[in-house]
Structure 1
Amino acid sequence: MKELGIGYAHGKIILMGEHAVVHGLPAISLPFYGAYVKTTVSKTDSVSTIHCSYFDGLLTEVPSELQGISILIETTLKYINKSNSSIHVDIESTLPANRGLGSSAAVSVSVVRGVIAAFGVELSEDELIELVNVAENIHHLNPSGLDVNTVIADLPLYFRRNHEKRHLPLKLKGYLVVADTGELGSTREAVADFAGKLHDNTDMISRMNRIGVLTDETLLNLYTGDMSKVGKAMLETHAILRDFSVSNDTLDRFVEIAMQYGALGAKLTGSGQGGCMIALAKDEESAETIALKLRESGAHQTWFYNLEGNINE
């Protein structure tokens, strides 16, 4: 039996379909290797403890932000018949939290992987997803499942809640620039705000359905390699999300700057109201220019995503 278990998980980028995916419409997402979460689990003879960037102490005394992880650890130990075992859980992350990059799902996945590795247990993908959803249902209001499924995926994903999950072996010419505004977003609040706009409002329901149409059009354009049309769909989607009040001034400004300096398209990514945006660039040189201008305009950090081979840089 192993005395030490290590679990890793990467983040996610939503290319198209955020928020609408919660309501059964399609989304396209990408695994984001530019940042990651690492969880190290060691067995101990005393009580269970946890260490991360903002808490170090007993698992039974975690703050509210970690309640989901605490329950997830207990649930995972029970699931593998190790409820009476005590462990120390150490979580390290380079993935910024509350930025729409799948941090909560990545932490949960890495924690489960670390726990089962410590005890030499293997789980199926479905079992892993079921366990991670214990925490996701606590952290978020009505999670679609997109984050978890993308965090455990190695390829881009076309996803419809409770309907379809298809991996996309795409090799495209172009880059995505990911830019962090440095402003915290709240998935729970943004999802609630989006849903509130739909209540008895046929116009907003139609606007949401348009996101679904744009997502399906984008899937076809990704296969044909028409990146100009992909970019236009991204820009239109951002405008719709802005109407739903899930963008903000910084995200709107970053989208405008990206377009000013040659982006084919740009939009917020994730839940919005802060967090990150993405911009589609035709080549590496264009991506470098866009990233530089975004950093000069206040972006806390930028990453490149090479769409040819799905490589993060």
Structure 2
Amino acid sequence: MTGAATAGGVPARAANEFAKLHGQSPTGVWSAPGRVNLIGEHTDYNDGFVLPFALPFRIAVAARARTDGRFAVTTVGDDGRPQRAEPVPVEALEPAGVTGWAAYPSGVSWVLRHEGLTSGADLLIAGDVPAGAGLSSSHALQCATALALLGLAGIELDRPGAPSRSEVAAWVQRSENDFVGVPTGLLDQTASLCCVESCVLFLDVRSGEMEQVPFDAAAAGLDVLVIDTRARHSHGDSGYRERRAGCERAADLLGVPALRDIGSSGLDDALSRLPEELRPLVRHVVTENDRVLRAVELLRAGRLADIGDLLTSSHVSLRDDYRVSCLELDVAVDAARAAGALGARMTGGGFGGSAIALVPDEERDTIGDKVLAAFAERSLPAPGLFTAVPSPGAGRDI
């Protein structure tokens, strides 16, 4: 088992690979992190509350402007072999016109073109965010791409006249919703752009209000153990779309803008007015918003160890009401809790991906070993394990 993940030399690797491929150094390198969502799942597209933090794992984009108006993207994997997408005129980028991995950076270029903020560019992508693990590798890629393209236009975030990080997050969401065709909410983009070191980000998705809540697990004698189940996850799958559509239908039937508007005290009445198949979705969203608010109260009071039961309750709700868990996630959560975790839950959209467990630091290795044994007993591929610490958000590296 590894200890805390580190960003390492990802930006330097992107710069070096760019120079090897293009024969000159990039203008700059920008990177963005993956994220873990501590609690608050499937609440973002219901105008609710979320509580993510950024991972040390990052996607870096090395970039240089082109003079021919074309957008060219290359990605370099761990094996050092480049995959290059065919250069496309920026003016020709349109939804459904680019497929596969290249659609994600291309969609960002498309949005920024419509904002009058981008032209031709060479991009080289390198990173260490595990793909398909529910840790937001695609959003890290899109956020890093946005910062790189803005940087080439002479715009660096947090400087006078620059767009806000929330505005860039909305652009990234638009690129994924309208160009790639995946109906994600705002959690992942905002986390990648706005999280800061040593804190979790308490975000009210409706208002855009943010609070950086201190989160020092080590000082409390705890670790956040991430369990990458190796069960591949994708927001493009139909299950995610179906649940989002179900939430929107329920809100419409209840006559509210979003399920955020149903409070705990009004839950029973709301459920009585809905068809049976929509009730579990609404119950999860309402109770999950409540769990986020309670977790924030505990963290503000320095009671980090006391959030464990909320994490576990969140998983039960996601498993039984929202029905987005799977065998691997349930094995990870159950094994971690049986081995002594204070709480555990799936994190991310579900249907695969990763789980997190809040564990006493002196028991981390023992709990990790028991999770590995539980997977082996069921002849499941061994999960990846690492300790996550809240890390900086997106920015320029070189």
* Common topology (TM > 0.5): yes
- Deviation, 1:82, is 4.6
Aligned CA distance change for structure 1 residues 164 and 76 (closer, same or farther; 3 Å) = closer
Which stretch shifts more, 246-255 or 131-140?
Answer: 131-140
Choose from 197, 210, 214 the match for 1:170: 214
Is residue 124 of structure 1 aligned with residue 163 of structure 2? yes
- Deviation, 1:196, is 5.8
- Deviation, 1:233, is 0.9
Q: 1:26-45 alignment to 2 at 5 Å?
A: 26-33=49-56, 35-45=57-67
Structure 1 equivalent of residue 72 of structure 2? 49
- Deviation, 1:197, is 5.8
- Deviation, 1:260, is 1.5
Structure 1 equivalent of residue 387 of structure 2? 304
Paired with 1:158 and 1:225, the residues of 2 have a C-alpha distance of 15
Is residue 145 of structure 1 aligned with residue 186 of structure 2? yes
Over 6 Å off, 4+ runs: none
Paired with 1:141 and 1:27, the residues of 2 have a C-alpha distance of 20
Aligned CA distance change for structure 1 residues 12 and 311 (closer, same or farther; 3 Å) = closer
Structure 1 equivalent of residue 10 of structure 2? none
Structure 2 equivalent of residue 92 of structure 1? 126
Which stretch shifts more, 96-105 or 43-52?
Answer: 43-52
Superposition TM-score, scaled by structure 2 size:
0.69
> Any idea what the Cα deviations from partners look like across 1:230-287, whole Å, max 9, x if unmatched?
11111111011011220000100010110121100000000011000000012x2222
> Any idea what the Cα deviations from partners look like across 1:13-67, whole Å, max 9, x if unmatched?
111111123212212111111x110001123455432112584132338434432
Q: Which ranges in structure 1 are unaligned for 5 or more consecutive residues?
A: none
Structure 2 equivalent of residue 280 of structure 1? 358
Paired with 1:75 and 1:207, the residues of 2 have a C-alpha distance of 33
Structure 2 equivalent of residue 110 of structure 1? 144
Q: Tell me if the contact between 1:14 and 1:29 (Cα under 8 Å) persists in the aligned partners.
A: yes
The residue type equivalent to 1:131 in the other structure is W
- Deviation, 1:74, is 3.8
Which stretch shifts more, 130-139 or 239-248?
Answer: 130-139
Q: Tell me if the contact between 1:6 and 1:113 (Cα under 8 Å) persists in the aligned partners.
A: no
> Any idea what the Cα deviations from partners look like across 1:124-170, whole Å, max 9, x if unmatched?
22442243223232446443211111101214111222224322231
Which structure shows the bigger proportion of residues in strand conformation? 1
Paired with 1:302 and 1:211, the residues of 2 have a C-alpha distance of 26
Structure 2 equivalent of residue 187 of structure 1? 235
Paired with 1:224 and 1:290, the residues of 2 have a C-alpha distance of 27
> Any idea what the Cα deviations from partners look like across 1:169-197, whole Å, max 9, x if unmatched?
31442211011111111224343243466
Q: Say which SS state the counterpart of residue 58 (structure 1) adopts.
A: coil
Paired with 1:214 and 1:7, the residues of 2 have a C-alpha distance of 35
Is residue 75 of structure 1 aligned with residue 106 of structure 2? no
Q: Say which SS state the counterpart of residue 349 (structure 2) adopts.
A: coil
Return the index of the structure with the highest Cα Rg.
2
The residue type equivalent to 2:241 in the other structure is A
Which stretch shifts more, 203-212 or 294-303?
Answer: 294-303
Q: Say which SS state the counterpart of residue 12 (structure 1) adopts.
A: strand
Q: Tell me if the contact between 2:98 and 2:106 (Cα under 8 Å) persists in the aligned partners.
A: yes
Q: 1:12-31 alignment to 2 at 5 Å?
A: 12-31=35-54
Choose from 256, 262, 268 the match for 2:340: 262
- Equivalent residue pairs, number: 304
Paired with 1:164 and 1:49, the residues of 2 have a C-alpha distance of 33
**Kindly, what percent of the aligned residue pairs are identical?**
20
Aligned CA distance change for structure 1 residues 58 and 293 (closer, same or farther; 3 Å) = same
RMSD after superposition: 2.6
Paired with 1:304 and 1:148, the residues of 2 have a C-alpha distance of 22
Q: Tell me if the contact between 2:45 and 2:244 (Cα under 8 Å) persists in the aligned partners.
A: no
The residue type equivalent to 2:243 in the other structure is F
Q: Tell me if the contact between 2:201 and 2:210 (Cα under 8 Å) persists in the aligned partners.
A: yes
